[in-house]
């Protein structure tokens, strides 16, 4: 790295406090328009920068990375997921990749719990009825939903966020089940009174609510395929605050249209920012515009982690949040 301040190029607008601190510490080029960079702009940034700070909207694949300049030594991702970056190619080219794990756990778990409540209790439908002036007074059989107390929740991915979801859900009286690459520590299982399933198929057939909390990797692409979605009970609900690519969206839409699933709550989509129009037409689906981590506190925490990773790297040390292939 150069003896002078490194050139840090940020691809999107970050909270003011983070941008100000970056300007103080580094030679920082900001994106004042907050417009996503196209591929040509990304390549230009990679050719000039010592450090690139991208977000989930930036696709940094092998075609982009092979055009990177010799100065680029660090990609400090503003976000936990790194499925937008070809980490293997970056490492092969001597470029370190970091992310911001942990800081979004509670915010994402809050949103997951909100969707678990919103879909069975038909909250969005109720709001729309009021807006359309269709509410004419209480009625014993109007807008009936389903309670979640006593129901079985199946968590797909029992990492930090999955465990935070489980703690919230347990407080709401849900029975906790989970599928993961391996069981969590026995102490965590005892705390959550959680049941581990090594077979995802077997878990899906028994759950009342399924929450997707695993990362998007080649192994999890369409993990909830048409075949697996058909295993779920017609009375079950599906919630996804992880990555849209984990679910076959067309198959999900077909299942709900046919009455073979009770509904879904989705904060992420397979082809963001595009949303499947079939899902938009369904009353028993709650759709949010990727808001799971959207708190000011969370964004500032993310930015502070990015700064720590850059500063540590510039000072000649290994940054605390390095991403290595074994983690993916």
Name the active-site residue from 228, 243, 249, 299: 243
Q: Is 243 a catalytic residue?
A: yes
CA-based R_g, the chain, Å: 22
Find where tokens 């690519």 sit: 245
Q: State whether residue 156 is helix, strand or coil.
A: strand
Classify strands 263-266 and 74-76 as parallel, antiparallel or unpaired.
unpaired
Q: Is 249 a catalytic residue?
A: no
Name the active-site residue from 272, 278, 304, 322: 272
Torsion of CA 164, 165, 168, 171, to 10 degrees: -110
- The phi-psi region of residue 180 (left if phi > 0; otherwise alpha if psi is between -120 and 50; otherwise beta) is beta
Give the separation between CA 159 and CA 211, rounded to whole angstroms.
Answer: 13
Q: Is 299 a catalytic residue?
A: no
Give which of 232, 188, 241 is closest to 213, Cα–Cα: 241
Give the separation between CA 124 and CA 44, rounded to whole angstroms.
Answer: 44
- Strand 27-29: give its sheet, edge to edge: 27-29, 7-10, 51-53, 74-76, 96-98
Catalytic machinery residues: 243, 272, 290
């Amino acid at each position: 790295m150069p003896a002078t301040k490194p050139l840090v190029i940020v691809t999107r607008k970050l909270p003011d406090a983070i941008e100000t601190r970056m300007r103080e510490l580094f030679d920082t080029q900001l994106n004042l328009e907050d417009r996503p960079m196209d591929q040509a702009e990304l390549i230009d940034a990679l050719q000039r920068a010592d450090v690139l700070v991208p977000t989930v909207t930036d696709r940094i694949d092998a075609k982009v990375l092979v055009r990177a300049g010799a100065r680029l030594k660090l990609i400090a991702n503003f976000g936990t997921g790194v499925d937008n970056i070809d980490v293997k190619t970056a490492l092969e080219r001597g470029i370190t990749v970091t992310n911001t794990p942990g800081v979004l756990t509670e915010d994402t778990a809050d949103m997951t719990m909100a969707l678990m409540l919103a879909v069975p209790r038909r909250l969005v439908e109720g709001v729309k009825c009021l807006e359309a002036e269709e509410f004419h007074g209480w009625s014993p059989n109007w807008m009936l939903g389903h309670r979640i107390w006593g129901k079985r929740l199946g968590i797909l991915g029992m990492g930090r966020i999955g465990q935070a979801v489980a703690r919230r859900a347990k407080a709401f009286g849900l029975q906790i089940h989970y599928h993961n690459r391996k069981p969590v520590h026995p102490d965590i299982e005892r705390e959550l009174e959680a049941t581990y399933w090594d077979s995802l198929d077997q878990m899906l057939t028994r759950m009342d609510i399924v929450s997707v909390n695993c990362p998007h990797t080649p192994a999890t692409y369409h993990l909830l395929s048409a075949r697996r979605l058909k295993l779920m009970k017609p009375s079950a609900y599906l919630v996804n605050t992880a990555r849209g690519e984990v679910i076959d969206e067309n198959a999900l839409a077909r299942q709900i249209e046919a009455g073979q699933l009770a509904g879904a709550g989705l904060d992420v989509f397979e082809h963001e920012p595009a949303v499947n129009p079939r899902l938009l037409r369904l009353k028993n689906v709650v759709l949010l515009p990727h808001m799971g981590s959207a708190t000011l506190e969370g964004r500032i925490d993310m930015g502070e982690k990015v700064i720590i990773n850059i500063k540590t790297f510039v000072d000649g040390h290994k940054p605390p949040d390095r991403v290595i292939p074994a983690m993916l």
